[in-house]
Copies of this chain bind each other. A is one copy, B any other.
Amino acid sequence: MMIIMKSNATPQQVETAIHAVKAAGLNVHLSQGVEATIIGAIGETHNIPTEIFEGLDGVETVQRITQPYKLASRQFHPENSVFPIDGFQVGGNDIVVVAGPCSVESRSQIIETAQAVREAGANALRGGVFKPRTSPYSFQGLGEEGLEYLAEARELTGMPIVVEIMSQTQLEVMLKYVDVLQVGARNMQNFNLLRAIGETRKSVLLKRGLSATIEELLMSAEYILAGGNKQVILCERGIRTFETATRNTTDINAIPVLKNLTHLPVLLDPSHSTGHADYVAAIARAAVAAGADGLIVEVHPDPARAVSDGKQSLKPEKFAEMVRQVKAIAEVMGRRIAPIKKPVTVGW
């Protein structure tokens, strides 16, 4: 960490800052330039907030040299994190394709969708039962009833289920049913929720907040990892920018940047990152070409009748076409779509 003093800082102020660095358990390396005095703070700094120095009199700015996270960092964990999700591996050579509707609307809807996406090549099923809706007047989800339908769909198709959790009060019921807890964009910095999930040993799909930096996403992962839960999957889902032609702006750069900075698996959600069914396949291909470890895609048997996100949901046949294209890109990248586990039930 470098503490850059103002050009008119007094020797007394420099002294105080040096004292603060030492009090934080760091060594001091002083550098007196013509333009400014810089105090290098040397040692284990990832868990020391810059703000403890920023408020000191005479300090112009404080700059980190190293990352403010450690458990999520590839520097301290050079190998990819690979872990199993009920039958396949995430983070390794295989590409994961999670698919399903925005909301679970009914038993028949989710079972029909599950069978369709499985047939098309998906290896996990998504579906929301507690919905974060901008308007209090919108459909808020089926709750536990929806979880039961999802569990039934899992029985029938053999696909693990990925479901969004909105609050730590939902943790108990979610743990009972789901294979992967999804933390949505609006909750990426719900630190109480992150800490609660860190205490479990359930896999987590952590979505980037719509105005969160890549570093903040990794800091949120660090919250979960710090609790001892190592199974964190990151997900780029588009950021908010000035461009209005699409719902969000897919930050495709985030894929290689994250693969460089962290050992955690990285997925991309082209449904939310574009907001438009017509653009989903192109961005899904781009994600895998850029090095993503998987995709999470909204599919609905009848988007025109979806209670939410119909505009960005693929029909099953369009999804099947997307999977074929993604498969071809994956092969060029020396990867493959994770094979589908055999269903456990007979008669399907």
Tell me if A273 and B253 are in contact (CB < 8 A): yes
Binds B, one of A121-129, A208-216, A335-343: A208-216
Closest CB-CB distance, A328 to chain B, in whole Å? Answer: 5
In this complex, which of A186, A222, A304, A305 has the most chain B Cβ atoms within 10 angstroms of its Cβ?
Answer: A304
Complexed CA–CA distance, A290 and B166 (Å): 33
Tell me if B214 and A245 are in contact (CB < 8 A): yes
The 8 Å CB contact of A253, one of B33, B249, B288, is B249
Q: A56-B304, A290-B282, A332-B328 are in contact. Are A191 and B132 (CB under 8 A)?
A: yes
Complexed CA–CA distance, A216 and B2 (Å): 24
Chain B residues with CB under 8 Å of A87's CB are none
Tell me if A167 and B166 are in contact (CB < 8 A): no
A345 touches B (CB below 8 Å): no
Tell me if A138 and B286 are in contact (CB < 8 A): no
Closest CB-CB distance, A339 to chain B, in whole Å? Answer: 21
Chain B residues with CB under 8 Å of A260's CB are 278-279
A255 touches B (CB below 8 Å): yes
Q: Interface code A230-273, partner B: CB below 8 Å = 1, 0 otherwise?
A: 00000000011111111001111111110010000000000001
Q: Whose C-beta in chain B lies nearest to the C-beta of A7?
A: B75
Q: A7-B75, A251-B243 are in contact. Are A136 and B168 (CB under 8 A)?
A: no
Q: Interface code A26-54, partner B: CB below 8 Å = 1, 0 otherwise?
A: 00010101111010101111111101101
Chain B residues with CB under 8 Å of A42's CB are 31, 33-35
A289 touches B (CB below 8 Å): yes
Chain B residues with CB under 8 Å of A253's CB are 243, 245-246, 249-250, 273-274, 279, 283
Q: Whose C-beta in chain B lies nearest to the C-beta of A278?
A: B260
The 8 Å CB contact of A245, one of B66, B166, B213, B249, is B213
A223 touches B (CB below 8 Å): yes
Tell me if B257 and A242 are in contact (CB < 8 A): no
A106 touches B (CB below 8 Å): no
Q: Whose C-beta in chain B lies nearest to the C-beta of A48?
A: B137
Complexed CA–CA distance, A215 and B132 (Å): 16
A22 touches B (CB below 8 Å): no
The 8 Å CB contact of A249, one of B29, B226, B249, B329, is B249
Chain B residues with CB under 8 Å of A331's CB are 332
Tell me if B55 and A303 are in contact (CB < 8 A): yes
Question: In residues 284-298 of chain A, which contact B (Cβ within 8 Å)?
Answer: 285-291
Complexed CA–CA distance, A344 and B254 (Å): 43
Closest CB-CB distance, A4 to chain B, in whole Å? Answer: 6
Q: Whose C-beta in chain B lies nearest to the C-beta of A59?
A: B311
Tell me if A133 and B257 are in contact (CB < 8 A): no
Q: Whose C-beta in chain B lies nearest to the C-beta of A184?
A: B189
The 8 Å CB contact of A166, one of B35, B191, B283, is B191
Chain B residues with CB under 8 Å of A244's CB are 213, 244
Chain B residues with CB under 8 Å of A219's CB are 134-136
Closest 7 CB pairs of A and B: A55-B310, A211-B211, A47-B137, A289-B289, A286-B286, A54-B311, A256-B282
